[in-house]
Structure 1
Amino acid sequence: MAQKSIKSIEKKLTKYKPELESKYKIKALSLFGSYVREEQNRKSDIDILVEFHEIPSLLNFIEIENSLSDLLGIKVDLVRRQAIRKELKEIILNEAVTIW
C-alpha cells in the first residue's frame, strides 16, 4: 500500500465533506498520530478524530470507519473525540490537525 501525504488526505476529506456530513452526521474531523508526526510507514493506519452531530450506533461507527478507509485507500482508525482515554487526551489534542 502506497504511503499517502497528510496534504493528500486533507484534500480528499475536504472534497468529500458535504457527503460525509450529510450521510454520517459528522461535525468535525482531525488527524493525529504517525501521519501528523510524519513518522508513518507502509504499515501505518490513519488516525482520525471525529465529532458527530448525532452519535452513531456501533455498527454505523464501523461502517463510517470502513467508508473512510475505502475513500482514502488506507486503513483508518476512527476515534470519537469524547472517547479519548484521559491519559492520552492532552497528547492527542495537542498534535491533532483540524481538517474541518
Structure 2
Amino acid sequence: MDALALIRQNLSIIRERYGVARIGVFGSVVRGEATPASDIDVLVEFREGEETFDHLMDLTFYLEDLMGRPVDLVIADTLKPRVRGTVLAEVVYAWGPAALSGGHQGRHRRHPLLCGGTVV
C-alpha cells in the first residue's frame, strides 16, 4: 500500500494522538522515483499549541512503524526558502484544506522547535 493511503487510513490516530492539522507526502514517492531504499518525505503542520518535540518524534516513529521505511518528517514552518516552493508545489495532502483544494495555502514562519537544527 502506498504512503498516502496508509496515512489516510490512520488519520484519526495521527490527528488526535499527535495534534496534526495537515499532513502530506512529497519527494521521490510523489514523483514516482522512489526505490526500495528511499525514505518517505512527509510534510506536517501541527495544530496551535501541539508543536512539541515529543509529537514530532513520536509521529516520526509511528509513521516509520506504519510504513516499514524511514520517514523524513518535515514541519511545514521550517521549510527553507530555497526549497519551499518546490516542496509546496509537489506535496499531496492526505487531509486538510489543501487536500480538497489541490494547493497549499499560507506562508510559513521559521518554526521555533527546530531553530538551529538541520531542516529541509
- TM category (shorter chain) comes to 0.7 to 0.9
- Which residue in 2 is equivalent to 1:80? 75
Q: Which moved more, 1:57-66 or 1:28-37?
A: 57-66
1:1-100 equivalent positions in 2, closer than 5 A: 8-53=2-47, 54-100=49-95
Gaps of 5+ in 2: 96-120
CA distance in 2, matches of 1:66, 1:56: 16
Identity rate of aligned residues, in percent?
29
Gaps of 5+ in 1: none
Count of aligned residue pairs for this structure pair: 94
SS class of match (2:31): coil
- Displaced runs of 4+ in structure 1, greater than 4 A? none
- Deviation of 1:9 after TM superposition, in Å, equals 1.7
The one-letter code of the counterpart of 1:31 is V
What TM-score, normalized to structure 1?
0.86
SS class of match (2:30): coil
The one-letter code of the counterpart of 1:50 is V
